[in-house]
Amino acid sequence: MERVLVGSRRLLLCVLAAGVLGLPLAFSWAVTHTEVTEKIGTSPTTFTLSTQGHSEVRLGIAGTVYLPESRGPIGLVATVDGPGDPGAGDGDLANYVRPEMLELYAGLFHDPAAAVAQYVDLVEAELRHQLLVSTAVVALVGGVGLFALHELLPVQLRRDRRRDTLRVGLAALLVLGMTTGLASVQLQGSEGGRGPTAGTYELASLDGTLADGATTDSPVVRALLGGALAKAQTLVDRQEAGEQAFRSVAETGLDDQADLFEGPADGEVAVMMQSDMHCSTSMIRLQRRVFSMLAEAGDAPSLLAVTGDLTTNGTAAEGTCIADEAAIAGDAPVAAITGNHESAVSEEQMSDAGMTVLDGSVEEVGGVRVLGDGDPSRTELFGATALRGDEGQDGQGRRLREVAADADPDERPSLVMVHEAYAAQAFLDIDSVDTLVLSHVPSLTRPPADPDDDGVGDVPAGAVLYGHWHRSIDPRVLWNSDGTWTLLMELDTTGGAVDTPTINNFSTPWSRPQQEASFPVLFLDRGSRLVTGYQLYRFDTDGTVTVEPRVDVGATVPERATAAPQADAYVGSQDTCPARAAYPTNAPTSSSVCVTTSGVTRPQRR
């Protein structure tokens, strides 16, 4: 046993020694094998590393731009594969500076430094991963080899400790020198270690920018950049002016209508919703302003719930706006799902920003039970849509319904969030949610004589919410046989983004809303966790704001179990509420201050 322990310690020491002595090889391997494929706007781009003390932007046959930016000898190389725009023709350089592409990129990369930082973070994360893997491999392989060599050719140390230490030290230095030399050869022989370190032509048009001191090997690039940058700056200035003008009008409108803002009534909790923001700078700031104004009045929502499409194209550069969207809620939590425009990188950025990214299980967030999952489809800006895996919208909706139905009745979700209507209709187990929401909207507060009149069976959730279609549709209340109800709500675009972008008609983070933008605040009863009302905030394209009155939802106290409701059947007062009917058993019961409207008794709102 003692012999085994001694051998194990020797093996561990050999592995540690090999890891240290092999670090140069591990580092060179990591540098030469770090590769990240991402998009810059709509352009597919591969990021690698250079070891020549500069960074590069490679534009294929059009030429290369050299930038004097690096961390020590390590620089970033971005190899751009083309404009990435189906309307860009054959992808030659001139297409990068078309008016449409300049407007697109001026909007997507309004703050180049922040965008570059997101890509650098991705490459650094991949470098750390490669370094960890290569170090582990070198340490394990080298350690086992060193241990085997020691066992086969045992080294006998002399009794002179100083001489033995010197021998071991010299041997370690020799090995370290060899691994350093091999690493240097590998780095110099790699693609990132060869080629020129600067171009022939200075790019004076980039002086004073993030790319100050850049050069190029292409006279065409130099000529095109000179005119393009001036045009891009004009576009940036125009976008900023338009955004500021829109936001100024909207902020004034919100301030003028602050008295119309409604918070949750006693016994209620509020949830602010968002869908299809698409990184809109204006609307992110305005939604945060509404949240802050509610908070200052003591009516802060307990949760911000997002049903997808936070971004324009799911690129790494949009991590900044994802963080800004998370900040809308201040200290309140955010529950979100990915939309069809988010990527795997976007999902990671959402988690990094502190959002609870729903993955198909019921979560308690901000005191609200939520269930949802990301869009199973992925759509590229100006590109095609394809499934991310084997599951489609229908399969996702059915799966989420099983999760909700299998939950204990007291643990079923208050909010079910999907991005697309097709998943919502599968969750509801109906043929077409569009037919349902576009048909005549019956009363939101009076249950029908037969709950099956709406053509929808009992729904195991308090509300079903989806977005994606960028349109304003009145919600529906679906009545369940146990006396409860489910709110079905299609959310409009919170960012005011066009629903089907083309190269000639698109929205960017710095575009002012190009169609009406809106978002609701939902009110849920704490006891039953059913939706009891909502308030809608609308923003027209000229900045005009409409704060709509609260709309009540559901029958707080049903006037009948078998008979049709009668107007003013109950009369509440400031002191007492009418006796609760046994039906429904889980209807709201938490408020003691009641009013009666249209024959339905409800909690008095503040």
pLDDT of 547: 97
- Examine the pLDDT at 235 and tell me if it is beyond 80: no
pLDDT of 268: 95
Q: Cα–Cα distance between 502 and 507 in angstroms, integer?
A: 9
Which range is most confident: 156-160, 181-185, 350-354?
Answer: 350-354
* Residue 587 is assigned to a structural domain of this protein: no
* Residue 207 is assigned to a structural domain of this protein: no
**Alpha-carbon dihedral sign for residues 109, 113, 116, 121:** negative
Question: Could you read off the pLDDT of 261-283 as tens digits, one per residue?
Answer: 999 999 999 999 999 999 999 99
Looking at the fold, whether 289 and 158 belong to one and the same domain comes out as no
- Examine the pLDDT at 203 and tell me if it is beyond 90: no
pLDDT of 42: 73
- Examine the pLDDT at 175 and tell me if it is beyond 90: no
For the residues of 72-100, what is the DSSP string, one character each?
TTBEEEEEE-----TTSTT--GGGGGSHH
Task: Read off the amino acid at residue 121.
Answer: D
pLDDT of 597: 35
Strands (E), 452-548: 463-466, 476-479, 485-490, 517-525, 531-539, 545-547
> Looking at residue 316, which CATH number applies to its domain?
3.60.21
**Last residue within a domain, chosen from 193, 223, 242:** 193
Task: Read off the amino acid at residue 130.
Answer: Q
Cα R_g (the chain), whole angstroms: 31
- The dihedral formed by the CA atoms of 236, 241, 247 and 249, expressed in degrees to the nearest 10: -160
Looking at the fold, whether 311 and 430 belong to one and the same domain comes out as yes
pLDDT of 114: 77
CB 404 within 8 A of CB 426: no
Tell me the residue range of the domain where 474 lies.
Answer: 267-552
Q: Cα–Cα distance between 322 and 313 in angstroms, integer?
A: 12
Confidence of residue 537 (pLDDT cuts 50, 70, 90): very high
* H-helix or E-strand spanning residue 597: strand 594-597
Looking at the fold, whether 158 and 293 belong to one and the same domain comes out as no
pLDDT of 587: 41
pLDDT of 152: 77
Mean pLDDT of the chain: 82
| CB neighbourhood size of 576 (10 A) | 10
* Residue 225 is assigned to a structural domain of this protein: no
Looking at the fold, whether 166 and 311 belong to one and the same domain comes out as no
Q: Cα–Cα distance between 255 and 179 in angstroms, integer?
A: 67
Confidence of residue 105 (pLDDT cuts 50, 70, 90): low
pLDDT of 137: 93
Structure tokens at 123: 């490459």
- Examine the pLDDT at 496 and tell me if it is beyond 60: yes
Stretch 164-170: mean pLDDT: 74
* Residue 586 is assigned to a structural domain of this protein: no
- Examine the pLDDT at 55 and tell me if it is beyond 50: yes
- Examine the pLDDT at 187 and tell me if it is beyond 90: no
Nearest alpha-carbon partner for 281 in 112, 121, 110, 537:
110
Q: Cα–Cα distance between 312 and 325 in angstroms, integer?
A: 13
For the residues of 133-149, what is the DSSP string, one character each?
HHHHHHHHHHHHHHHHH
Looking at the fold, whether 188 and 299 belong to one and the same domain comes out as no
**Last residue within a domain, chosen from 178, 193, 208:** 193
- Examine the pLDDT at 62 and tell me if it is beyond 70: yes
pLDDT of 288: 97
- The dihedral formed by the CA atoms of 582, 587, 593 and 596, expressed in degrees to the nearest 10: -80
Looking at the fold, whether 187 and 271 belong to one and the same domain comes out as no
Looking at the fold, whether 397 and 484 belong to one and the same domain comes out as yes
Looking at the fold, whether 273 and 187 belong to one and the same domain comes out as no
Q: Which residue has the higher pLDDT, 502 or 356?
A: 356
pLDDT of 324: 95
* Residue 543 is assigned to a structural domain of this protein: yes
CB 376 within 8 A of CB 492: no
Looking at the fold, whether 521 and 419 belong to one and the same domain comes out as yes
Stretch 399-418: mean pLDDT: 94
* Residue 596 is assigned to a structural domain of this protein: no
Q: Cα–Cα distance between 184 and 141 in angstroms, integer?
A: 21
Looking at the fold, whether 285 and 171 belong to one and the same domain comes out as no
* H-helix or E-strand spanning residue 16: helix 2-21
pLDDT of 576: 33
Confidence of residue 517 (pLDDT cuts 50, 70, 90): very high
Looking at the fold, whether 49 and 180 belong to one and the same domain comes out as yes
Question: Could you read off the pLDDT of 114-157 as tens digits, one per residue?
Answer: 778 888 999 999 999 999 999 999 999 988 888 887 777 666 65
Confidence of residue 570 (pLDDT cuts 50, 70, 90): very low
Overall domain count for the chain: 2
* Residue 249 is assigned to a structural domain of this protein: no
pLDDT of 89: 44
Share of the chain above pLDDT 90, in %: 48
**Last residue within a domain, chosen from 552, 569, 601:** 552
Looking at the fold, whether 413 and 282 belong to one and the same domain comes out as yes
Confidence of residue 93 (pLDDT cuts 50, 70, 90): very low
Question: Could you read off the pLDDT of 421-470 as tens digits, one per residue?
Answer: 999 999 999 999 999 998 877 889 988 888 888 889 999 999 999 999 99
Q: Cα–Cα distance between 570 and 399 in angstroms, integer?
A: 41
Q: Cα–Cα distance between 119 and 37 in angstroms, integer?
A: 10
Question: Could you read off the pLDDT of 69-87 as tens digits, one per residue?
Answer: 888 889 999 898 865 544 4
Lowest-confidence segment of 214-228, 368-382, 534-548 by average pLDDT: 214-228
Which range is most confident: 144-148, 221-225, 582-586?
Answer: 144-148
* Residue 218 is assigned to a structural domain of this protein: no
- Examine the pLDDT at 585 and tell me if it is beyond 70: no
